[in-house]
Amino acid sequence: MKWLEDCDKFFFIFYLHKPDFHHRGIYHDFVAVLHKLPNYQLSILKNDHLQSEEWLKDLFDHAHDLIQIVHLDGTVIYVNNSWVKLLEYSQDEIEGKSIYSFVEDADLSHFIQYRNQVISGATKDKQIVFNLKTKGGKAISVEGFISVKLKDETPLYTREIFRDVTLKLQHEAQLHLYNEELKEKEHNLQQLLINAPDAVIVIDQESHITFWNPKAEEIFGWTAAEVMNKTLSSTIIPIQHRQAHKIGMKRFLATGEVRVLNKTIEITALKKTGGEFYISLTISHSFQGGKNVFIAFIRDITEQKHNQLELEKKTKELERSNANLYHLDFKITSIVVVLYYAATTIIYH
């Protein structure tokens, strides 16, 4: 029946709002409601009253949250078992004490201000986070709400429900620290890449450019804004290498087979002007947002390659010169031998 459901709701609400089942100043609220019920409903309710009160009180006392009922002056009227267990006090030690004596000194002013605002009606349904202190002096972080019991618009007492969030706040603080450390590392890495002596280019798995450092601008002549989201093939890869690049990317994404990753190779690239020049190229692989990214470290080795080619040319020239000298020396030696034998023959004959 609907009225019985409403009674059950009333019992539950009353249980959560009243600090003491035997406190006469508060209990009359419940009695006043009972007097408004029809006699047959009142009879049923009276028969179930003690039993309902018993299981509701059991529920109240065994709630995991910390529940406290407090007089306007701050004197504790009631705390539940979770409150007692967490803060390590006995009910006798709490009796007659001010709730403010259980609040950490650093949070006391904030807590008093918040509670006074609730009592005066200046704030409503606003959560507070503060620290309680255990009997042993340990700080317990809690969050929750305070509401005020009114009669004829006059405050009678406060109902205060809190939850232990010590570990939650510790984890959040640790997570914040990790995030700050990660941001710092990312910033440092970004600075290293920006100020790297080599060109650093990052592409996604579609070969679109996502990072282009100042050294890359210097070497290739393209600004970062000009190449961002363009493909390597449309910017710096010469025509003769584009197909190999396409096949290599496709093979890696399909099979994971690597041929050039983490190896330094010498190859040619294109400047913005279209000029082709030699570079030293090292490619590494990583993930960003769960997707493949490739990081290219590039050094302009035009001068080095020129010197190398020049050295190779000089070496070959020297080898040819040495070969010519060898043949010349052989011819001279042969002539000397012939002349020696000819002279010896003339002298002795």
Give tens-digit pLDDT for 116-134: 999 999 988 789 999 999 9
How high is the pLDDT of residue 18? Answer: 42
The answer to whether residue 152 scores a pLDDT higher than 80 is yes
Which amino acid is present at 185? K
**Which residue ranges form the domains of the chain, and what is each CATH number?**
2-170 (3.30.450.20), 191-300 (3.30.450.20)
| CA–CA distances in Å: residue 312 to residues 152, 161, 316, 318 | 104, 85, 6, 10
Per-residue b/e over 154-176, b at no fewer than 16 CB within 10 Å?
eeebbbbbbebbeeeeeeeeeee
How high is the pLDDT of residue 53? Answer: 60
Interatomic CA distance for residues 129 and 167, integer angstroms: 13
Which amino acid is present at 61? D
- Pure H helices in the chain: 2-17, 24-35, 39-61, 81-87, 91-94, 105-120, 166-194, 214-220, 224-227, 239-255, 302-348
pLDDT band at 65 (very low <50, low <70, confident <90, very high): very high
Q: Is the pTM higher than 0.85?
A: no
The answer to whether residue 35 scores a pLDDT higher than 90 is no
pLDDT band at 218 (very low <50, low <70, confident <90, very high): very high
Least trusted range by pLDDT, from 53-57, 76-80, 91-95, 119-123: 53-57
Average pLDDT, the chain: 82
Record the tokens describing residue 318, joined without a space. 């020297």
How high is the pLDDT of residue 55? Answer: 66
34 φ/ψ sector (left φ>0, alpha ψ -120 to 50, else beta): alpha
| 199, 219 contact by CB (below 8 A) | yes
Average pLDDT over residues 147-162: 93
How high is the pLDDT of residue 170? Answer: 93
pLDDT in tens, 257-305: 878 888 999 999 999 999 999 999 999 999 988 899 999 999 999 888 8
pLDDT band at 61 (very low <50, low <70, confident <90, very high): confident
321 or 92: which leads in pLDDT:
92
Instruction: List all residues 6 or more positions away from 145 whose beta carbon is below 8 Å from its beta carbon.
Output: 125, 126, 127, 128, 160, 161
How high is the pLDDT of residue 316? Answer: 81
40 or 208: which leads in pLDDT:
208
